[in-house]
Structure 1
Amino acid sequence: MDNPSNIVENGVTYSLGDFDGTTVHYDFYRILEYLEVKGKTLYGEDFKIYKKDRPLIRKLCAYFIKDQKSCKRYNMILEKGILLSGPVGCGKTSLMKLLRYIVPKKMPYEMIPSRNVVFSFNHLGFKTVQEYGDSGSFCFDDLGLEPYGRFYGKDANVMGEVLLSRYELFIHTKGRLRTYATTNLNAAELEERYGNRVRSRMRELFNLIAFDDKSSDKRK
C-alpha cells in the first residue's frame, strides 16, 4: 500500500512520515527537510528555513497535517482557517504558498493578493464580492494593505465585505470551506481598517499565528 505521506519531487521521493496502514505518523524534521527542498524549487537556491522560525512552522505543520493533539496544545481549532501575521519580509507569503504542498490532496486553497480582489471589484462591482465570498478556499495575501474599492462612484471596503461573506460561508459549510490570510497589521490595526464587526467575525474565522514583531526582513 502506498504511503500517503510520500511526495515525489524532481524524481526523488520524500517520506514525511510513517504509514501504519490507516494513519500517517508525521515527522516534523522530515517535513522541514522537504519544505526546504520545495522552497528552493519555488524560490531559488537562496531559500532556507531559519531555526528561529521552527516553533511557528511547527504550529502551522500541526494544523496542515491535522494533528489534533498538537493543535489542542496550541489552542488551534482545525475547522478555522489561518491568519498569519508578521512584519514585512518575514516569510508569511512564502510559507502559506509552501505549506499547501505537504498535504496536496487535503487542503487546497488559492493564493490571491488582496489588492487584486479590489482591482476586480473596481471593474465588476459586487460580483467580485460574491466570487471570493460565496465559494472556494482562498488565502488573501497582504490583508489590510489593499486600497479601498470604488465602483460607479461609490467607495467600498471590499475585503471587509468579502470577509463578512466568508464568515457566512464558514457557518453555512460548518468550517468545510476555510479562509486563510496573511497580514502585516496587528489586531488593533485590523479593527481600525475593517471595523469592530468584521474584526469580531475574523476571530471566529481564523486561528491567529504571529511571527515575532522583531522578525528580520529575509528579502534583504
Structure 2
Amino acid sequence: MANPSKIIEGSVVYSLGEFDGKKVEYDFAKVAMYLEAKGQLIFGKHFKIYEEDKGVLLKLCNYIVRDYENCAKYGIDPHKGILLTGPVGCGKTSLMRLIRYIVPHRRPYELIPSRNVAFGFNHIGFKIIEDYGNGHFYCFDDLGVEPLGRHFGKDCNVMGEIILSRYDLFLKSKIPTHATTNLNAEELEERYGKRVRSRMRQMFNLIAFDKNTKDKRN
C-alpha cells in the first residue's frame, strides 16, 4: 500500500506525519512546511505561509484530511464544503489551490473563477448552469464579484442559480462545493438573495481570515 503520509516533489520526499498502515497522524508543522515548499513551486520563491494565517490554515488542513476530532473542536462539518472569506489579497485562492495536494489519494476539486462562469453563460446560456450542477468537485473563486450573465437579452444571476443546483446535489449525493469570497454575509445576501444565502449556510463551513489581514500581493 502506498504511504499517504509521504509526498514526493522532484527529488525531495516530504513527510506529513506518521502512517500506521491504516490512517495518517498528521503533523501540522510538517504539513505547513510542505505547503510552503509546494507554494514556492507553484507561485514562485516569494511565496510563504504567514504566521498570522496559520489558524485559518489549521482549520483547512483538519477539514481536508478529515480529522473528525479536530473538525468537531473547530465547529467544522467534514461533509459540508468550505466558504473561505477574507479581504482582497489575503491568500484565499492560494490556500484553496494548495490544500488539495495534502491528500493526493483523494479526488481533487477544480478551482473555477466565478467571473469565467458568468462569461460562459453569456456564450452558451443556461447549459452552463447544468454543466456546473453535475457531480464534479468545484471551488468557485471570487464568488460575488462576477458580473450578471446575459444571454440573448435574458439576464441571469448565474452563480446564484449554480449554488441552488449545487445545493440540490449536496442533498442528494453529499457532493460538497467550495468557494472563496471577499464579501460578508450581508453582502452575499444582497448579491444573491435570502434563499441562496439560506442554502449557503447549509452547504458551507465558514472559515474566515481576519478582516485586517494584509494584502500579500503588495
Bin for the TM-score computed over the shorter chain? over 0.9
Q: Secondary structure at the residue paired with 2:61?
A: helix
Is 1:193 the equivalent of 2:191?
yes
After TM superposition, list the pairs within 5 Å mapping 1:1-220 onto structure 2.
1-173=1-173, 175=174, 177-220=175-218
Q: Secondary structure at the residue paired with 1:45?
A: coil
CA RMSD of aligned residues (A): 0.8
- Matched to 1:120, the amino acid is G
Distance 1:62 1:210 in 2: 15
Q: CA deviation at 1:35?
A: 0.3
Unmatched segments (≥5 aa) in structure 2: none
How many residues matched?
A: 218
TM-score, normalised on structure 1? Answer: 0.97
Encode CA deviations 1:85-113: one digit per residue, 9 max, x unaligned.
00000000000001100002214100000
Q: CA deviation at 1:7?
A: 0.3
- Matched to 2:201, the amino acid is R
Q: Is the 8 A contact 2:114 2:142 kept in 1?
A: yes
Q: Is the 8 A contact 2:85 2:92 kept in 1?
A: yes
Encode CA deviations 1:179-206: one digit per residue, 9 max, x unaligned.
0000000000000000000000001110
Q: CA deviation at 1:152?
A: 1.1
Distance 1:105 1:121 in 2: 33
Q: Is the 8 A contact 2:4 2:105 kept in 1?
A: no
TM-score, normalised on structure 2? Answer: 0.98
Q: Secondary structure at the residue paired with 2:45?
A: coil
Q: Is the 8 A contact 1:3 1:18 kept in 2?
A: no
Q: CA deviation at 1:63?
A: 0.2
Encode CA deviations 1:60-91: one digit per residue, 9 max, x unaligned.
00000100000001111011000000000000
Moved over 2 A (4+): none
- Matched to 1:3, the amino acid is N
Distance 1:101 1:4 in 2: 11
Q: Secondary structure at the residue paired with 1:162?
A: helix
Distance 1:160 1:134 in 2: 15
Q: Is the 8 A contact 1:80 1:178 kept in 2?
A: yes
Q: Is the 8 A contact 1:64 1:107 kept in 2?
A: no
Encode CA deviations 1:106-142: one digit per residue, 9 max, x unaligned.
1410000000001111111110000011321100000
- Matched to 1:15, the amino acid is S
Q: Secondary structure at the residue paired with 1:182?
A: strand
Aligned identity (percent) is 61
Q: Is the 8 A contact 1:17 1:30 kept in 2?
A: yes
Q: Secondary structure at the residue paired with 2:90?
A: coil
